[in-house]
Structure 1
Amino acid sequence: MNNRFQVEFHFRNALIFDGDGAEPFKGDIGISDGKIDFVAPASECIEVISDKEYDLAGMALAPGFIDAHTHDDHAVFDPTKIYPKLSQGVTTIVAGNCGISLPPLTLNGQMPPPPLNLLGNSGLFKFPNMASYRKSLAKNGHAVNLVYLIGHSSLRIKVMNDVTREANSEEIRLMHNLLTQALNEGASGFSTGLFYPPNEAASEEEVVGVASAMKNHGGIYTTHMRDEGDDVIKSIDESLSTAKKAGVPLLISHHKCTGRQNWGRTRETLQLLEEHRPSLPLNFDIYPYTAGSTILQEDQVSEETRIMVTWSKTHPERTGQELGDIAREWEVSCKEAARRLKPAGAIYFQMHEEDVHRLLKSDIAIIGSDGIPEDEHPHPRLWGTFPRIIGHYARELGLLTMSEAINKMTGLPAKVFGLGKRGRIAPGHFADLVIFDPKTIIDKADYDNPKVPSEGINAVWVNGKEALNSGSIGVSNAGRLLQSDFS
């Protein structure tokens, strides 16, 4: 075995988490030309010549974290907007989720209908195809790697004159062809947001007709299901049926059971998913909080549910306030207060911690922040998801081992999205790395102060370039557009 190495960078004395879920070990790694050249346990005697050496005694080294669910479609262009992800150790993001994507939709000054407005204003919808989006990424550069999905709502708005109805056969054909084109130009999959108005009229037949474009090309189907509350089982059944008919892998987005009457039903949902694992590649992503966040919708408002306003176009001064407090001050119902605040965003406190625990422990769960970078008062998941998993759920609660937690944000999502040579500390793999203190890593953002960086992240490397060091942005253009490969 070769024990002499000449590399650009030598990382010594690290506690290495390989990303596969194995127990960590002390050792060294070397990287050159953006890839890992060697991995050596401390027990091996090696000789290393390097351009620069880093002593990581007391620190852990892991593959860079993969955020399986983001809305960073435009934020990826701006290092300051992607900082919340870098500061958590994220080196790869998946965007275009929940049926909303920038390409291939152009709005020509028209206001983006909810929920597309979560991505920003109409001026951002300027990419008629995936190729133009990819060209802009290459021209501007981006700090993290990007996996991109094409959203069904964006396709429907592009080809249909009325999205409140089911698409006809010609419209389905057009969307199928647009998705095929996008896959050829660098997209990795297709997402739906059947919960939202622009997408809710789509039938299963329509979704299958579009998603089947991925059957021979390759790609993954992700879905924000129609219902995560009373009809969650029915929605999972639809998702499973759609993926099987289209012949594609399935990823259920931000899986949860909302509403007090549905707390505990993750026992049912997990059993159902387990029953279908032999016949379908399937996973779900999850964030480690009991509240979600999206647009403010009157039909999601009840007097019993705690709701916090994340932004409001009509009453921006109410950002960060509780909907119930606003309603009492205005002497109206919560639904009426929501109507007056719209267009707006909100945090909904609808889940139970025991369900979060149960889902996190599932071996088909991967981690996605679902953060919304454009929100004035965002959900703390935007800044804290990944350190919270490791620091709180693994180290403090012992719900998972650190190795298991890290696997859910590295090796496992790399497999789910078909990202070869990513998500592991192994020779020949790309040098996406995070260096952190396993004794102190923890989230600091909360609902009152959501824009607070986490603690314990020492450095982040993207494709062999240092993108973050001690909280400061370094190389801001090392990211690449990645494309799924399920061959």
Structure 2
Amino acid sequence: MYDLAIREGMIIDFENNSIFVGDIGIKGGKIVDVGRCNGNAKKVINAEGLIVSPGFVDIHMHEEVIGNSVDGDDYDIGNNMLRMGVTTAVGGNCGNNRQDIKEFLDFVDHNGAPINYLTFIGHNFLRNSLAIDPYRKATEIEIQKMKDMVKEYIESDNAIGISFGIEYSPGITFREMVGLCNDIEDNILLSSHYRGDADKSIDSIKEMIEISRVTKKPMQISHIGSCSAMGYMDESLDLIEVAIGEGLDIAADCYPYNAFSTRIGSAVFDEGCFETWNKSYDSILLTEEPYKGIYCDEELFYKVRKEYPDMYAVAFVMNEEEVIDALKASFVFVASDGMLNKGQGHPRAAGTFPKVLGKYVRDDNRLDLTDALKKMTLLPAQRLGLRNKGDIQVGMDGDIVIFNPATIIDQATFTEPTKPPIGIEYVIIDGKIALERNNVVNNRLGKSIRRNQLSL
């Protein structure tokens, strides 16, 4: 008897790039049958007319501190991830961890979580732990100390690799980044937030490619839309394609919005940023009280930078067509960059995957459904070494999202950033129902996933 049977669903078949109507049988958290499953089941889902996909794998999100949600839960972002079909996600991106990795993963192990979590160790986190000013380069002694810390976090705490947040610490040097990658495990993943965007994006892309070339380690270029979607996307994508053709292991991710978000006190908003973007102060939307929903003028911009440096701000500086170009590239995955501060911030944390499927696949016909789903599931799973996730095959983990292709769409906005999507009918994690007809029924099915469990 199956623990769970999904009947008559439109099942995604990546191997044949097709969709077929069939059943899925799940037992013991694993997919045990695909096709026609005639056995009895403890629970049956009628998925007629619905797409049955692997659970979405978000390779770039920012749940770095647990226990600070405004709704009294321990997970500020994971609950929103679950509601939009994400079953596994990666934190510690852009060089940032704001909580000790062991503490974070142990909490997940002991308490469960809305989704499964992996994490990088962030370079900027290491710098902060040594009190290195963001605007100065590290000394050789400091680099060695950080290298020792990286080794410990990867070998003992099972971080999946190193993330760099170059723009956030302008003093970071190429030598420093490469130095951290020496004498550590080969089978780790690097990811990087660029050094600069817009007219600095091409040199930034080249630098990230060169890090991969020198270290001989795979590089995941973070949120390429916010790097290059200001007139430089074609050249950026061409650079990556050439590097891949040379044998380098380079990929990127992108979220489906024409605005980025980060803390307004960060180096991203340092002097000269508006000239770089060819925008003005009124392109910046504030997301938290006492200025929630207000666009800046010059006076307010500098006031908030000084008095509320940790406030998340949204910068409308990207071109949508270039974001779409990125999402269409074969080596670019869909990822949310999901980041909230007590429920406030950018809607990408609650809307990314439904927006791609509802707007860019169904309504605008800019992306093929199977290709889009592959960018949300199989490709990031393979990138992370998650050999049992990202596909619907016998033996794979029972992590599945079932959605209505006719109705799925995001509802999160820049003023209501956590408004849940519609059209997500079921989310299944480890063979158990976590969300049913848009309602969360169990948000503690997720587990920690550590490097020693991966096949990198």
TM-score higher than 0.5: yes
Counterpart position of 2:370: 403
1:442 aligns with 2:409: yes
Cα distance in 2, alignment partners of residues 97 and 370 from structure 1: 8
* Alignment map for 1:237-256 (pairs within 5 Å): 237-256=206-225
Write the letter of the residue equivalent to 2:166: L
Cα distance in 1, alignment partners of residues 403 and 302 from structure 2: 44
Instruction: Name the CA shift for 1:232/1:79 in 2 (closer, same or farther; >3 Å).
Output: closer
The match for 1:8 among 3, 6, 24 is 3
Write the letter of the residue equivalent to 1:371: G
Give the 3-state SS of the residue equivalent to 1:404 in structure 2: helix
Give per-residue Cα distances to partners, 1:269-326, cap 9 Å, x unaligned: 1111000003211111100010000011343355265110023xxxx321221113xx
* Alignment map for 1:21-170 (pairs within 5 Å): 22-40=17-35, 46-75=37-66, 78-79=74-75, 81-102=77-98, 125=99, 127=100, 130-170=101-141
Cα distance in 2, alignment partners of residues 205 and 449 from structure 1: 42
Cα distance in 2, alignment partners of residues 454 and 360 from structure 1: 20
Instruction: Name the CA shift for 1:475/1:214 in 2 (closer, same or farther; >3 Å).
Output: farther
1:181 aligns with 2:152: yes
The match for 1:309 among 277, 281, 286 is 286
Instruction: Name the CA shift for 1:266/1:214 in 2 (closer, same or farther; >3 Å).
Output: farther
Give the 3-state SS of the residue equivalent to 1:455 in structure 2: coil
Counterpart position of 2:259: 291
1:202 aligns with 2:172: yes
Counterpart position of 2:70: none
Give per-residue Cα distances to partners, 1:30-49, cap 9 Å, x unaligned: 00111100111xxx5x5312
* Alignment map for 1:359-398 (pairs within 5 Å): 359-374=326-341, 377-398=344-365
Q: In 2, are the aligned partners of 1:71 and 1:370 still within 8 Å (CA)?
A: yes
| Deviation of the 1:209 alpha carbon | 1.1
Q: In 2, are the aligned partners of 1:101 and 1:150 still within 8 Å (CA)?
A: yes
Q: In 1, are the aligned partners of 2:60 and 2:90 still within 8 Å (CA)?
A: yes
Give the 3-state SS of the residue equivalent to 1:317 in structure 2: coil
Cα distance in 2, alignment partners of residues 20 and 399 from structure 1: 22
Counterpart position of 2:201: 232
Give the 3-state SS of the residue equivalent to 2:120 in structure 1: strand
Cα distance in 2, alignment partners of residues 228 and 80 from structure 1: 28
| Deviation of the 1:160 alpha carbon | 4.5
1:267 aligns with 2:267: no
Instruction: Name the CA shift for 1:191/1:20 in 2 (closer, same or farther; >3 Å).
Output: farther
| Deviation of the 1:57 alpha carbon | 0.9
Instruction: Name the CA shift for 1:211/1:131 in 2 (closer, same or farther; >3 Å).
Output: same
Cα distance in 2, alignment partners of residues 258 and 239 from structure 1: 12
Give the 3-state SS of the residue equivalent to 1:322 in structure 2: coil
Counterpart position of 1:282: 250
Q: In 2, are the aligned partners of 1:69 and 1:369 still within 8 Å (CA)?
A: yes
**Number of residue equivalences:** 438
Counterpart position of 1:417: 384
Q: In 2, are the aligned partners of 1:303 and 1:334 still within 8 Å (CA)?
A: no
Give per-residue Cα distances to partners, 1:418-464, cap 9 Å, x unaligned: 11111000110001110110110011112233221101001111111
Q: In 1, are the aligned partners of 2:282 and 2:295 still within 8 Å (CA)?
A: no
Give the 3-state SS of the residue equivalent to 2:385 in structure 1: coil
Cα distance in 2, alignment partners of residues 32 and 85 from structure 1: 25
Cα distance in 2, alignment partners of residues 353 and 80 from structure 1: 28
Cα distance in 1, alignment partners of residues 82 and 206 from structure 2: 36
Cα distance in 1, alignment partners of residues 364 and 145 from structure 2: 50
Write the letter of the residue equivalent to 1:202: I
Instruction: Name the CA shift for 1:336/1:473 in 2 (closer, same or farther; >3 Å).
Output: closer
Instruction: Name the CA shift for 1:407/1:63 in 2 (closer, same or farther; >3 Å).
Output: same
Give the 3-state SS of the residue equivalent to 2:7 in structure 1: strand
| Deviation of the 1:230 alpha carbon | 0.9
Q: In 1, are the aligned partners of 2:2 and 2:42 still within 8 Å (CA)?
A: yes
Cα distance in 2, alignment partners of residues 231 and 213 from structure 1: 31
Which consecutive unaligned segments of at least 5 residues does structure 1 have? 1-5, 103-124
Instruction: Name the CA shift for 1:133/1:450 in 2 (closer, same or farther; >3 Å).
Output: closer
TM-score by length of 1: 0.85
Give per-residue Cα distances to partners, 1:105-146, cap 9 Å, x unaligned: xxxxxxxxxxxxxxxxxxxx4x3xx33433222122212111
TM-score by length of 2: 0.90
Q: In 2, are the aligned partners of 1:19 and 1:406 still within 8 Å (CA)?
A: no
Instruction: Name the CA shift for 1:477/1:408 in 2 (closer, same or farther; >3 Å).
Output: same
Cα distance in 1, alignment partners of residues 350 and 308 from structure 2: 25
| Deviation of the 1:56 alpha carbon | 1.0
Q: In 2, are the aligned partners of 1:384 and 1:445 still within 8 Å (CA)?
A: yes
| Deviation of the 1:23 alpha carbon | 1.4
Q: CA RMSD in A?
A: 2.2
Cα distance in 2, alignment partners of residues 366 and 82 from structure 1: 19
Instruction: Name the CA shift for 1:202/1:298 in 2 (closer, same or farther; >3 Å).
Output: closer
| Deviation of the 1:80 alpha carbon | 6.1
Give the 3-state SS of the residue equivalent to 2:286 in structure 1: strand
Which consecutive unaligned segments of at least 5 residues does structure 2 have? 68-72
Q: In 2, are the aligned partners of 1:307 and 1:322 still within 8 Å (CA)?
A: yes
| Deviation of the 1:21 alpha carbon | 7.6
Q: In 2, are the aligned partners of 1:305 and 1:349 still within 8 Å (CA)?
A: no
Give the 3-state SS of the residue equivalent to 1:166 in structure 2: coil
Give per-residue Cα distances to partners, 1:43-101, cap 9 Å, x unaligned: x5x53122222211111110000111111122487256422111100001110011011
| Deviation of the 1:182 alpha carbon | 1.3
Give per-residue Cα distances to partners, 1:308-352, cap 9 Å, x unaligned: 0023xxxx321221113xx5xxxx374456445534220000111
